[in-house]
Structure 1
Amino acid sequence: MDTAKDTGGTQTRTERRDAAENRKRILDAALRLFDRHGVAEVSMNQIATEAGIGSGTLYRRYRNKSELCLDLIRDNVDVLFKDIETYLRAHQEDPPAQRMKGVIALFIRFREKKLQLLAGVEQTGSALGRSYKSQSPVYNQLHEIVVQLFNEMKAGEAAERNNVFKADLLLMALKNDSYLFQREVRGYSPESFLEQLCLTFFPG
């Protein structure tokens, strides 16, 4: 009886160790390929081959490249939202528009540091077989914060419905394709891009 339990426990520990080793191999392989070719140019099959595992093993852990990219920057995302929480707590007496600007500034700084991986996290639509109802956890968490700040600027049932719409549009402007277009094509610096967003979504 005790022996059976010990055997089961050993098997469980072995499976957990194997899973942890596979995760490390996958993430290390992905980082090597992303550094070499860029996130957009690397396929899941390439990552499996580089990691020396079967594609089935890879897909059991990550359904798509978006989930893999999120795992690569999960700790950074946690730090981002802790920084946002700390900022909002320290500036709780400031007007909501000023706090909104501070939150967006923190996110833009984060995007600049983790541009490619965050773009990978944001991939949606037919390329990954996902619908736009399934946004990234980064998007969902930031959306809640932005809606709350818009609600503080203008309350009321009708206003709150409009604030969800405004938050959707603001976060679309902050997504990779839009951000890079404004930076690379329109020539806005991160600072001037932030100013334009503020003038567009909450002037005054």
Structure 2
Amino acid sequence: MHELSTPVHLVNIKKWRALQFILNGDVSVCQRFFPGVRKLKDEKAGSARVERRDAAENRQRILATAIQLFEQHGVEQVSMNQIATEAGIGPGTLYRRYRNKGELCLDLIKGNVVSCFKDIQTYLEHNREEPPEQRLKGALRIFLRFRESKMQLLKGVEDAGATNRKKAGTRSPLYDELHGLLVEQFHEMNPGKEAVRNNVFKADMLLEALKSDAYLYQREVRGYSPEEILELLYITFVLQGG
């Protein structure tokens, strides 16, 4: 949790840079921001391995094959072995680069993830004079737009993370980043010391509503549009929860 006296825009810049390093696998740099973070690539911590040409070609072949299969069959229905077979590589080659399908999905969307949080940071900086309630709503709108555009791949990242996560309460770097943004906005809305714990709780609950299982249920079963979901989240967690 960040100190409440730290300027919000400086905290966000610091965290966004850390997210870039996490997604790029540069743990040695990232640990200057967040000690103990987990790398998402298979490089050894602190190394600056130059990717060989054949490895780079394999990566592009894997990603192109995965995109094609995901578009044809859906992310959930495609196995790692199927990707390896269609890409014309051995399963060992695939698993040396990606330990699971979630890491492959993350590689496909990591540029979009960084762009999403950069857009959120830019929005928050340009609207810093607006009430925190409106800034939070605007940040949520940007994230939901990203979620809609990468729905299946994001679910693939989350599903793999849930399967491989051993400790309860741990999250992916993506959701740690989003959680931090939510907490900061709730702190601005409710700055009292007695509200700090409740602000974290509200961010926890809002984050659960934004994850794939809950979000897709509201979209596909309840029939809500993204804008309707945004309005209901705003009413529930900001207007009524404030």
Band of TM-score, shorter chain: 0.7 to 0.9
Residues 112-168 of structure 1: CA deviation (Å, up to 9, x unaligned):
111111111111466x33235442222121111111111111124442222222111
Q: Aligned equivalents of 1:160 and 1:124: distance in 2?
A: 31
Q: Aligned equivalents of 1:69 and 1:134: distance in 2?
A: 19
| Contact 1:173 1:179 survives alignment (8 Å) | yes
Matches within 5 A, 1:1-204: 16-124=52-160, 128-131=163-166, 132-203=168-239
CA gap 1:157/1:51 in 2 versus in 1, 3 angstroms = farther
**TM-score for the superposition, normalised by structure 2:** 0.74
Amino acid at match of 1:93: E
Using the TM superposition, give the Cα deviation of residue 171 of structure 1 relative to its aligned residue in structure 2, in angstroms. Answer: 1.2
Structure 1 portions without partners, runs of 5+: 1-11
Q: How many residues align?
A: 191
Q: Secondary structure at the match of 2:130?
A: coil
Amino acid at match of 2:59: R
| Contact 1:122 1:135 survives alignment (8 Å) | no
CA gap 1:65/1:99 in 2 versus in 1, 3 angstroms = same
Q: Secondary structure at the match of 2:165?
A: coil
Q: Secondary structure at the match of 2:52?
A: helix
| Contact 2:179 2:207 survives alignment (8 Å) | yes
Find runs of 4+ consecutive structure 1 residues off by over 4 angstroms: none
CA gap 1:124/1:22 in 2 versus in 1, 3 angstroms = closer
Q: Which moved more, 1:67-76 or 1:46-55?
A: 46-55
Residues 67-125 of structure 1: CA deviation (Å, up to 9, x unaligned):
11010011111111111011001100111111000000011111111111111111146
CA gap 1:73/1:125 in 2 versus in 1, 3 angstroms = closer
Question: Per residue, is there more helix in 1 or in 2?
Answer: 1
**TM-score for the superposition, normalised by structure 1:** 0.87
Q: Aligned equivalents of 1:65 and 1:133: distance in 2?
A: 21
Q: Aligned equivalents of 2:160 and 2:197: distance in 1?
A: 24
| Contact 1:147 1:163 survives alignment (8 Å) | yes
| Contact 1:124 1:135 survives alignment (8 Å) | no
Structure 2 portions without partners, runs of 5+: 1-48
What's the Cα RMSD here? 1.8
| Contact 2:218 2:224 survives alignment (8 Å) | yes
Q: Secondary structure at the match of 1:40?
A: coil
CA gap 1:36/1:169 in 2 versus in 1, 3 angstroms = same
What is the identity percentage for the equivalent residue pairs of Structure 1 and Structure 2? 63
